Amino acid sequence: MKIVFMGTPQAAVPSLERITRDKHEVVAVWTQPDKPAGRGNKLSASPVKEFALQNDLPVHQPSKIKTAESLELFRSHAADIVVVVAYGRILPETFLQAFPRGAINVHFSLLPKYRGAAPVNWAIVNGEGKTGVTTMQMDAGLDTGAILLQRETEIEESENAIELMERLSYTGADLLSETLAMFDELVAQPQTDAQATFASMMRKEDGAIDWNRTATEISNRVRGFQPFPTSYTKFQDKKLTVWKAEESPIANRQSPIAGEIIEAKGDKLFISCGNQTVLQIDELQIEGKRRMTTRDFLNGVKINVGEKFG
């Protein structure tokens, strides 16, 4: 097939790589404009652009797509289909109807659950035991198109959103390959809107730890809010980011005060949480310092039992 590929982050690269390996003709790659990054704010290309350039694929990065010029350029590719994997913008209906076989999307959830911008993150935050990947025929709605294929996977107990996203990106590439190979035989199944849930774009304030939540809820948020907005609190007037944590099996009989430190010794840092649960912090980062293990942190910072986070 002649394909226009639209994608931006690293999670989209395996799908683009798989399309080229399957000998489809990628007539154009559309990705978001370069963005300032790093200390010097130098313009940085998206992972999809970098892969495309390394493989001599033509790249387009319009700053606006809802223009006559962008639509004209898009139609000029004369492709059979457009494949969209985390492009980063909602496409106008004119784009979805530009090519004979329409537009298909690789979405990192088991639709209709977790429609929206951050399905992997919210699945972990909400304590889901499983998730997956869906290929769908795109329509004008937000992830509301008819389902082509799905593949389910369990979420591992300690898996964070970065790790799960990487794993799903390869599952998605495989599923996309199957979808394109079987495209003429597949019968798209409409989604059941009544079963839909929404995975909104994450905000910085989502990461503020509420110690009144249970330890499991906080642990899920620590895993789910990576790489953004992370899970953070205040300690000794500094921002403290929690990178790795889990519910401790010990019962909290010492303190009913949420956020209170109930043990800080060796590699043990236990915090009182809601419903008499206890969070064990394994990896953290105090403002101005590097990310480190609990043991390293406790070796460098004086902490007293009874002090409070938050």
Summarize pLDDT for 198-239 with one digit per residue, the tens.
Answer: 999 999 999 999 999 999 999 999 999 999 999 999 999 999
pTM higher than 0.85: yes
Domain assignment present for residue 306? The answer is no
Domain assignment present for residue 168? The answer is yes
Angle formed at CA 163 by CA 183 and CA 84, multiple of 5 degrees: 30
Q: Are residues 216 and 186 in the same domain?
A: no
Burial class of residue 248 in the structure, from the number of CB atoms within 10 Å of its CB (0-12 exposed, 13-18 middle, 19+ buried): buried
Number of domains present in the structure of the chain: 2
Structural domain boundaries enclosing 191: 2-199
Q: Are residues 140 and 41 in the same domain?
A: yes
Q: Are residues 177 and 130 in the same domain?
A: yes
**Which residues contact residue 197 at a Cβ distance below 8 angstroms, ignoring those fewer than 6 apart?**
112, 113, 114, 115
Domain assignment present for residue 307? The answer is no
The pLDDT of residue 117 is 94
Q: For the domain that residue 108 is a member of, what is the CATH number? A: 3.40.50.170
Q: For the domain that residue 266 is a member of, what is the CATH number? A: 3.10.25.10
Amino acid at 295: R
Domain assignment present for residue 69? The answer is yes
Q: Are residues 215 and 113 in the same domain?
A: no
The pLDDT of residue 255 is 67
Domain assignment present for residue 82? The answer is yes
**Strand ranges (DSSP E) for 51-199?**
59-60, 81-85, 103-107, 115-116, 130-137, 146-154, 198-199
Successive 10-residue mean pLDDT values, the chain, 310 residues = 98 98 98 86 92 98 96 98 96 97 98 97 98 97 97 97 98 98 97 96 97 97 98 96 94 80 94 94 96 95 91
Q: First vs last Cα of the chain: how many Å apart?
A: 55
**Which residues contact residue 207 at a Cβ distance below 8 angstroms, ignoring those fewer than 6 apart?**
221, 225, 228, 229, 230, 231, 232
Q: Are residues 169 and 274 in the same domain?
A: no
Q: Are residues 219 and 166 in the same domain?
A: no
Chain position carrying tokens 């460098």:
300
Kindly state the tokens that stand for 236. 């000794």
